[in-house]
Amino acid sequence: MVLSLIVGIIVGSIISAPIVWISGRLIVGAEKAKFMDAVMIGTIATATNIVMVTFIGPLSGILQLIIYLYLVTKYFETGYLRAGIIAVLNVVIGIGITYLVTYIVTELI
């Protein structure tokens, strides 16, 4: 169980950090959105998400959103409105990458 938790956090961080970084650079600029800040946001957000879903259940989504917005405001030094825009942009970029990878994989098979 502990090993799967650690692997989940590492994989979640590897996947989410570049997307958070790109979104942050687009919204707040390169001087505020550093890659290591995006890694920290991804790591802390993934860890809290795994822990909250495990112990609280599926109703922890609102609390997770508040924590995520707080992390973005803290690390990217921005307000909650821009943090919300970054969060929405994360979803859009993530969906775009998912469709692109799915298309490439299905064309190769």
Confidence (pLDDT) at 5: 82
**67 in Cβ contact with 75 (< 8 Å):** no
pLDDT for 37-95, tens place per residue? 999 999 999 899 888 888 887 788 889 999 999 999 999 999 999 999 999 999 999 99
Structure-token pair, residue 12: 């979640």
| pLDDT score, position 89 | 96
Is residue 9 predicted with pLDDT exceeding 90?
A: no
What's the burial of 4, exposed, middle or buried (CB within 10 Å: 0-12/13-18/19+)?
Answer: exposed
Q: Is 57 left (phi over 0), alpha (psi -120 to 50) or beta?
A: left
pLDDT by residue (tens digit) across 17-40?
999 999 999 999 999 999 999 999
Residue 35 pLDDT = 95
Domain map (residue ranges) of the chain: 2-108
